[in-house]
Amino acid sequence: MWLQRTSLVLKYCQPALNGRISWAVCSCKRLLSTEDDVSALGDKLNFPLTREDGSDNVSHNDEKLPSVTRILQATQPVESALALLAWKRKMIAKLGEKGFAEMQKKTLEAGSACHSAIEQYLNGDVIDDIIVPESSEKLWSSVKPILKDVDKIEMVEGKCFHPHLKYYGFVDCVATYCGNLCVIDWKTSKRTVTKLNYCYDDPLQVAAYAGAVNCNLSPDKQVKQGVVVKIYHQGNPATALVMNEFTLEYYWRQWLRRLAAYNSLQDSTSL
């Protein structure tokens, strides 16, 4: 079914966008060719999210490992790529190339300032003493109610790697949220999001980080839950989309498939 749906998208949407999605289509075609291949990767597709053994002493050189972001971008479903490009095309038509670039710059700057404020708070600063630029005030107002439920900080803006599955990433936060140890990812948004399945690859990113973090935590202190926090530019209260143990496990399995597809793509391009 997935193959049929993607084939239809490729057939009918590529001409409509005048070749602007050629990179996404090529990537998708390579990904399609790997669907039968991933079943041969057996052990990696069944790799556990958590571990029950002792310390992990596997040596590594993470400088040559692919990042979680790179892996997800390279294996992005074609429907997601089309949606992103259609939105970009619409905004450029509305604002012009220069206006769109300026809007993107301001959005990124506001998000970065909000992330810095969150980091200050998690590192011990008093929340009322934290000052953000005017462009980030609504974002900061949006996320502050969520922060009161975050404590027992384990990691803030930290680098993590998976020594067995060979990838790395930068996790926003590992802490206790509402009493449960979680990987927490802060995401700014201009639209209200109330369900994980509207978050594109955000849940997979959290799952990937959780798996990597667990390799460096003791067996009795494993991350089994995750949270995607949507912080709104309009200033309305942020949404904490909690991934319980079963949901995180589901997205971990989806992440393993994307990782397997990425590895197969790398193998095919190196031939």
Please report, for residues 129, 171, 172, 207, 217, the alpha-carbon distance to residue 119 in angstroms, rounded to integers and kept in the order given.
13, 12, 9, 21, 21
Strands of the 180-189 sheet, one edge to the other: 150-162, 167-177, 180-189, 225-232, 239-243
Distance separating alpha carbons of residues 1 and 206, to the nearest angstrom: 27
Segment holding 8, helix H or strand E: helix 2-16
Which pairing describes strands 180-189 and 225-232: parallel, antiparallel, or unpaired? parallel
Task: Provide the pairing of β-strand 150-162 with 225-232.
Answer: unpaired
For this structure, is 172 an active site residue?
A: yes
Tokens of 194: 């109330």
Kindly give, in sequence order, each residue whose CB lies less than 8 Å from that of residue 121, ignoring residues fewer than 6 positions away: 127, 130, 147
Local structure of 56: helix, strand or coil: coil
Is 202 a residue of the active site?
no
Of residues 144, 185, 202, 224, which has the active-site annotation?
Answer: 185
- For residue 41, what are the CA distances in angstroms to 21, 46, 105? 30, 9, 41
- Tokens coding 180: 């449960």
Per annotation, catalytic residue among 144, 187, 224, 230: 187
Question: Which one of the listed residues 144, 172, 201, 202 is annotated catalytic?
Answer: 172
- Residues constituting the chain: 271
Please indicate whether residue 220 is annotated as part of the active site. Answer: no
CA distances from 44 to 15, 149, 252, 253 (A): 37, 35, 12, 10
Write the DSSP symbol of residue 234: T
Residue numbers annotated as active site: 172, 185, 187
